[in-house]
Amino acid sequence: MEVVICESAEEIGRHVADAYEAVLRLPAPVIGLATGSSPLAAYHELIRRHRDDGLSFAHATAYLLDEYVGLPAAHPESYAAVIRRELTDHLDLDPARVHSPRGEADDLVAECARYDAAIAASGGVDLQLLGIGTDGHVGFNEPMSSLSSRTRLKTLTQQTREDNARFFASVDEVPTHVLTQGLGTILEARHLVLVATGEDKAEAVAAAVEGPLSARCPASILQWHPHATVFVDEAAASRLDFAAYYRHALAHKPAWQRF
C-alpha cells in the first residue's frame, strides 16, 4: 500500500485524475466510481480535463459501488442520480454504460448476483475509487462484513445513517438498507484508490492503514490488495504513526513510478 499525504483536497483530486487518466488509455477501460463528498475534487478535475483538455470517456464503462434500497432511481439522493449529477452527465460517457446496483429491484438477491456477473463480464474494474466512512466502511460494507463478501444487501449502522442524514430532510428518511459491492468484489479491482480528508476521518484512516487487517475496519482490506493507493490530507493523516516514512518514500519516489 502506498500512502500519499497531500496538502489539499485539490491536490488529491489531481493525483486521482492522473490515475483515472492512465486507465482511460486502455482500449476498453472499466472505471469504478464512488459517491460521497470525498471523490468530488477528483470528479471536478476529471470534468475540467474533459472540457479543457479533451480527456475522453467514450470507450469507458463505469460501475458504482453501492445504492440505497427502496429509493427510486430518479430520487435525487439515489446514488444512481448522484453520480450522474456530480460526474457522468458532464462527460462523454454513454449513460447506458454507467451501472449501479438497482436498489428498487423486486428480487434483490438476483439483482446482486446480476451486478457481480456484469462486472465480471466487462472484464473487471481497472481502477476503483473509494471513500471511507467514519466507522471504516468502504462502499457500504459496515464493520464485521465478510472479507470475501460479494455484492449483497446490508443493513446500515445508525452511525452511517446519521453521517448521511445531511443529504436527507432527517435521519429517519435515510434508508435502513443498501446494496453494496462486497469486500471480495472490491478486492478484484486491479487498482484501489482510497481518498480521505478531514480530522473526522483520521481514526478510520489509521485503523485502515496501520491497524490489523480485520472486518472490524472493512477498509483494512486495502492492506491485502497488491495495488492500493491511499491519498489523505494532513488532517486525515494526523493519527498515522508512520507518516514520516510515507513522506520520505514519496520524496524519494522514482520519477518513472506512477501511483
Q: With binding defined as CB under 6 A, does residue 13 bind ligand GLP?
A: no
User: Is the CB of 66 or the CB of 233 nearer to ligand GLP?
Assistant: 66
Please say which residue, 94 or 184, places its beta carbon nearer to ligand GLP.
184
**Minimum CB distance to ligand GLP, residue 211 (Å):** 18
Cα angle 115, 165, 169; round to 5: 110
3-state secondary structure of 128: strand
Please tell me the count of residues contacting ligand GLP according to CB under 6 A: 14
CB of 156 to ligand GLP, least distance (A): 8
Contacts of residue 136, defined as CB under 8 A and 6 or more positions apart, other chains included, come to 143, 204, 207, 208, 216, 217, 218, 219, 220
Q: Min. distance of Cβ 238 from ligand GLP in angstroms?
A: 16
Cβ atoms 94, 60 nearer than 8 A: no
Catalytic residue among 135, 163, 191, 233: 135
Interacting residues with ligand GLP between 163 and 222 (CB under 6 A)? 164
Between residue 55 and residue 74, which ones bind ligand GLP under the rule CB under 6 A?
65-66
Let me know if 233 is a catalytic residue. Answer: no
Residue partners of 191: CB distance under 8 A and separation at least 6: 19, 23, 126, 127, 128, 227, 228, 229
Residue 131 touching ligand GLP (CB under 6 A): yes
Q: Which three cell numbers stand for residue 230?
A: 491511499
- Choose between 139 and 143: whose C-beta lies nearer to ligand GLP: 139
Active site residues: 66, 135, 137, 142
